[in-house]
Amino acid sequence: MSEQGADAAVTWEEARSVNLANWEARVPLHVDAYPEVAALRADPSAMSTVVHDDLEALGRHLPAGIAGLEVCHLQCHIGTDTLSLARAGAHVTGVDFSPAALAAGKALAAELGLAATWVETDVLDARAAVSGAFDLVYTSIGAITWLSDLDRWAAQVAALLRPGGIFYIRDGHPALYSLDETADRLVTRYRYFANGDAIEWNDQSTYAGDGTVTSPRTLEYPHALSETVTALLSAGLDLVAFDEGTTLPWKFSDLMEELPGGDYAYPEPLRSRIPTTFTLVARKPA
């Protein structure tokens, strides 16, 4: 078994296959353990904490809200964020490469009486698989580290947007991902910059609940902030806003403390020393 966080020279096809097995194995665990699933079922006005926070940030760019807009959610997993966008009034399309995740999303949508379209495809081939043009292309947290080619990803985003449409992403900060999550202080351990190789992990745990993942191997790709921004600019989008945050919707390190509302953050003075997320908004020229 490779060292945790070691470089792995693999093809995209191998990485995709390994990661698909991992995400398929996570689905039943997440359906049972996601607090958002229980919240959505219990309260017809509830939405995920991720979408709640993202809608507040999006309000500066979509002051009329997302009600009535065509929204494409890339890498939607089991759809808790997708259906939260639907509850906010959007016409939503959820895109993911996991059949099990999409089946769970469809079942939850039917249970909640929410309308959504679900498309099974790799996000790197999204434009060929998804019909229509969108007012908002949305990517929620924990997404692009699974992708090898951000130029191809950004091209899909741009092609899905209608002229004047908005792309929004809030994701884990690459500076955070370079830290040793097991250390008792802030110390870098993993690669920050892309070099063509994946980074390999073997971890039976998942970020929701205490279940054990039966396919624990994953292959992820570090992407510097400059790589992400440049890919979107090269795809023809205009950068509208960029921000960095200090909270996460999952516990990256045991040093983190839970905040009211369920997010996590490092205690001070560590919180002021390292960003944990970045948020980027871009627009397709009209």
* pLDDT digit string, tens, across residues 164-180: 999 999 999 999 999 99
Q: What is the mean pLDDT of residues 191-215?
A: 81
Q: Domain 6-283, what fold?
A: Rossmann fold (3.40.50)
Strand extents, DSSP E, 146-270: 161-172, 198-202, 217-220, 238-245, 257-258, 264-265
Asked if 28 and 228 count as a contact pair (C-beta separation under 8 A), the reply is no
pLDDT score at 3: 66
pLDDT digits (tens, 9 = 90+) for 242-285: 999 999 998 999 999 999 988 999 999 999 999 999 999 999 99
Q: Which residues contact 253 (CB under 8 A, 6 or more apart)?
A: 179, 181, 182, 183, 266
Task: Tell me how crowded residue 192 is: count the other CB atoms within 10 A of its CB.
Answer: 13
Q: What is the mean pLDDT of the chain?
A: 93
For the chain, what are the domain ranges? 6-283
pLDDT score at 203: 73
Burial status of residue 274 (CB atoms within 10 A of its CB: 0-12, 13-18, 19 or more):
middle
Q: What is the mean pLDDT of residues 209-213?
A: 69
Distance CA 146, CA 139 (A): 13
pLDDT digits (tens, 9 = 90+) for 65-83: 999 999 999 999 999 999 9
Q: What is the mean pLDDT of residues 224-244?
A: 98
Question: What kind and span of H or E run contains 279?
Answer: strand 277-283
pLDDT score at 208: 61
78, two tokens: 């089991």
Given a cut of 70, whether residue 155 has pLDDT beyond it is yes
227, two tokens: 């790589």
Listed range (149-153, 213-217, 277-281) with the worst mean pLDDT: 213-217
pLDDT score at 1: 42
Asked if 14 and 219 count as a contact pair (C-beta separation under 8 A), the reply is yes
Given a cut of 50, whether residue 133 has pLDDT beyond it is yes
Given a cut of 70, whether residue 210 has pLDDT beyond it is no
